[in-house]
Amino acid sequence: MGPVLITQENQLRQQCVDGLSALLPEGLMLSSEEELKPYESDGLTAFRKTPLLVVLPETIEQVSAVLKWAKANEVPVVARGAGTGLSGGALPHEQGILLGMAKFTRILELNPEHGYARVQPGVRNLAISDAARPYGLYYAPDPSSQIACTIGGNVAENSGGVHCLKYGLTVHNVLEITVVTIDGEILTIGSGAQDSAGYDLLALMHGSEGMLAVTVEVLVKLLPEPPCTRLLMASFASVEDAGNAVGAVIAEGIIPAGLELMDSPAIVAAEAFAQCGYPTDAAALLLCELDGLEEEVVEQIEKASSVFTRCNATKLHIAADEHERLLLWKGRKSAFPAVGRLAPDYYCIDGTIPRSQLSHVLKQMSIWSDEYKLPIANVFHAGDGNLHPLILFDSNIPGELQRTEELGSKILLLCVEVGGTVTGEHGVGVEKIGEMCVQFDQNALLQFHAVKAAFDPQTLLNPGKAVPTLQRCAEFGAMHVHHGELPFPELERF
């Protein structure tokens, strides 16, 4: 082995190790190159950075000690759950500590009588429902990554899932969280009550991407499993027909538990992957799940079927039993990896649009897809307008990742243009930081920074994520001139 390079980073790393060793028991820090490697990215692997060191605390007090020390020494801290995030929200800081919450894996209390579970942030989303199932209860938000993603990360991203049209996002299903501030103070936000004194900090913390505080405990609401669940699958000859059917079923007064749309490339890929019985000749497919009392579900299935028929459905099929229902969902939930097999790489976009804009947006995407010669497959949380176009590319072809990112950015800006947002559920992270400059004006961004400063004036928690600086926006504006107008024209260009 050659001599150790004395770089500024190595010096800083040694300072951190020395400082934190005094506060933490042995074995909670990782600092060698091979130990740091697994932490260099989250689910968005196109971005990678090596942190100074990884700290894996085991107690809330240790989290508090680390944050206090970081504040005193002005060292950035990036918190991380399972690292399944798709926007680079847990991308490490090269001069910072990566605070891994992976050891907080205990379900502290499960109370079926009162309908809640008190869990540590590193508990996996699906593990909560697994633990609650014997009591006929479950935790409603179900992001596709639920087998691996953790509840702490769900709070940070305000994760959704296929059932959030009816059952809401993480923010609607969490009663209380305990956080540690950058000052090392421990604060409980919310309670078993339906509201709290003062401002709604619980709402503010959800989706704040680890920028305001570190979540160390979560009290989630458990819901009773519906006695009856049925899945209706409808095929269509065009995506427009399927899109119209979504609006029509809602106009009928039906709120499905889940309403998912897939286009032809996604259907074909998912069928090849999961062999779940999708009609591969359809241009679009709707999965419409209805739940509740049997009497209600039977009535609504009939109603939804006649709506879909009226909207030119070419085929209707009701899952015959629980086995088939789960199989049809498996196809949808494995759509990402399934599409992933079609090309060496894929890039997942997460814009949300008003549903009425669906066919306009899909048409435009298909034009761009031809222009860029990059195929796009679409899976879509149709009920709530959350699009997930998957751009297929090959990162080994020079320049193709850049072209993919450019196409992705174009799609996101189109979402904003039609009245939507650059991120429905995956978060801004580092990925969409430039597009934030288009969605929000200067005053709104400054207000975000002011909110951040109320919690973390030195911007030590997850710096550089979620909310762009105005300087960053000026640089972004130079790349993305919209309708000939530069964003932030009052700022100097550099």
Instruction: Show contacts with another protein in window 326-385 (CB under 8 A).
Output: 352-356, 381, 383-385
Q: Measured in whole angstroms, how far is the alpha carbon of residue 290 from the centre of its chain?
A: 24
In angstroms, the Cα distances linking 128 to 122, 203, 219, 463 are 11, 21, 11, 31
* Residue 80 bridge partners (DSSP): 100
- The correct pick among 23, 110, 148, 187 for binding another protein (CB under 8 A) is 187
490 belongs to the binding site for another protein (CB under 8 A): no
463 belongs to the binding site for another protein (CB under 8 A): no
- The correct pick among 12, 17, 23, 204 for binding another protein (CB under 8 A) is 204
Strands 107-111 and 116-119: antiparallel
Q: Which stretch binds another protein (CB under 8 A): 62-70, 147-155, 191-199, 393-401?
A: 191-199
d(CA 393, CA 446): 36
Copy the structure tokens of residue 409.
């950015």
Q: Which stretch binds another protein (CB under 8 A): 78-86, 275-283, 448-456, 470-478?
A: 448-456
d(CA 274, CA 331): 5
Question: Which residue lies nearer to another protein by CB, 250 or 343?
Answer: 250
d(CA 423, CA 2): 46
Question: Which residue lies nearer to another protein by CB, 76 or 424?
Answer: 424
Question: Which residue lies nearer to another protein by CB, 192 or 344?
Answer: 192
Q: What is the dihedral of CA 44, 395, 424, 195, to 10 degrees?
A: 0
Other Cβ atoms less than 10 A from the Cβ of 5: the count is 7
DSSP 234: E
Q: Which stretch binds another protein (CB under 8 A): 75-83, 155-163, 313-321, 393-401?
A: 155-163
Q: Which stretch binds another protein (CB under 8 A): 250-258, 265-273, 317-325, 370-378?
A: 250-258
Copy the structure tokens of residue 408.
């992705």
- The correct pick among 12, 46, 68, 225 for binding another protein (CB under 8 A) is 225
Residue (of 39, 134, 135, 122) closest to 88 by Cα position: 39
Size of the site for another protein (CB under 8 A): 95
Query: How near is the Cβ of 451 to another protein at its closest, in Å?
Result: 5
- Contacts to another protein from residues 55-94, by CB under 8 A: none
481 belongs to the binding site for another protein (CB under 8 A): no
5 belongs to the binding site for another protein (CB under 8 A): no
109 belongs to the binding site for another protein (CB under 8 A): no
